[in-house]
Amino acid sequence: MSSTDTAESRPQVSVIIPARNEEASLANCIESLVTQTGVEYEIIVVNDHSSDRTREIAASFSGVQVIDAAPLPENWTGKNNAVATGARAARGHWLLFTDADTVHLPGSLSRALAETEQHNVDMLSYSPEQIAVTFCEMAVLPVVFAELARQYPPSKVSDPKSSDAAANGQYILVKREAYDTIGGHAAVATNILEDVGLARAFKACGRKIRFRYAADAVRTRMYRNLRQLREGWTKNLALLFPEPSRLAVQLLMWWLLAWTLLSLAVAGLALGYWRTIYGALLIVLLYLRIRKAKFEIAATVLSLCCGPPLFAYLLVRSKRVHASGNVSWKGRNYDATKPQQDVNLQNHPATGRLS
């Protein structure tokens, strides 16, 4: 790690971990990072006003720099404020913004850096392998990530000629020079969906980005109970999908029709040969649609059986909450009715180098 470097040297990568009440997952994240090889790097954990053992856990790792997030400025989201604080302290030529609930595979950091050079990109974002444990996780997550893959195809996102832009905030590796040029996280300071906003800012400035599914590099368990899952996707879904109600109705009707036809056929009712075939075909097509999320077969089948109505509920709930203007996340409330405007970084107490 570059914590042993001289004052004149700079690490290749600064790993920045915003952490707010992450005592359940932070240790595993840091353990997977401190053993990375093949690249000089530093690790910065930004304690975002946690009320649990987050800071204590981070400080227990030798060589890890632990700093406290600046006071939350008006109109900034908590995560943007935390990562902006970390970016100010960072010395690396590249910045890796990664969440406290991620686990990084051995050698993944050096491979990611090599990937940026191979594809000549200024931003590399990975969609991690999603770990699903509980019933709700296995039922909902495959549908969510399958629909995200349809809404934001990685091939289009990675194509400079396409206007599609997306990133996953759990893993965003950016060139420091490009990050400074677009205005850093100040450019998306008010954005609840800061990862997609940052990717759009990069593309708008003509910077190349690469986005892909990366089970070979990083994995995560996003939510550990139903409350967290519901709150997290309520915060995000209405922003990720431009027509959440329409998508909810489409998927729900597809799911209902498929299972109704198949159930009636199995029950021996006189549906006729072709109607039975149509029901089975709809089930197969829905399975293939969900399978694109690349979850294990058991989770995909469970999601096929139960996922679409749960996903539809979360879509509608997210739209209603955003329409009300009061979006809640990790003990903070955000006004979703306010325009998400750029903020001058000069006025931000956590980052003084940009304007």
For CA atoms 169, 94, 202, 83, the dihedral sign is positive
- Residue 270 pLDDT: 52
The whole-number mean pLDDT for each consecutive block of 10 residues of the chain, a chain of 355 residues, reads 54 97 97 97 98 97 96 93 97 98 98 98 98 95 97 97 96 98 95 96 96 98 94 96 96 92 69 71 94 95 96 97 93 79 39 34
- Residue 5 pLDDT: 46
Looking only at the bridges linking them, the beta strands covering 94-98 and 102-104 are: unpaired
- Residue 10 pLDDT: 85
- Residue 149 pLDDT: 96
- Residue 269 pLDDT: 56
**Which runs of E-coded beta strand occur in 217-263?**
218-220
Query: Hey, what amino acid is at 300?
Result: T
b/e burial code for range 68-94 (CB count within 10 A of at least 16 → b): ebbebbeebbbbbbbbbbbbbebebeb
Q: Residue 129 forms beta bridges with which residues?
A: 219
- Residue 271 pLDDT: 55
Alpha carbon 111 to chain centroid, angstroms? 20
Mutual angle of helices 244-266 and 135-151, in 10-degree steps: 120
Question: Which of 283, 63, 64, 13 minimizes the C-alpha distance to 171?
Answer: 13
- Residue 278 pLDDT: 79
- Residue 9 pLDDT: 78
Q: What is the C-alpha separation between 233 and 321, in angstroms, rounded?
A: 11
User: Domains, the chain, ranges and CATH?
Assistant: 2-128+168-224+337-347 (3.90.550.10), 239-324 (no CATH)
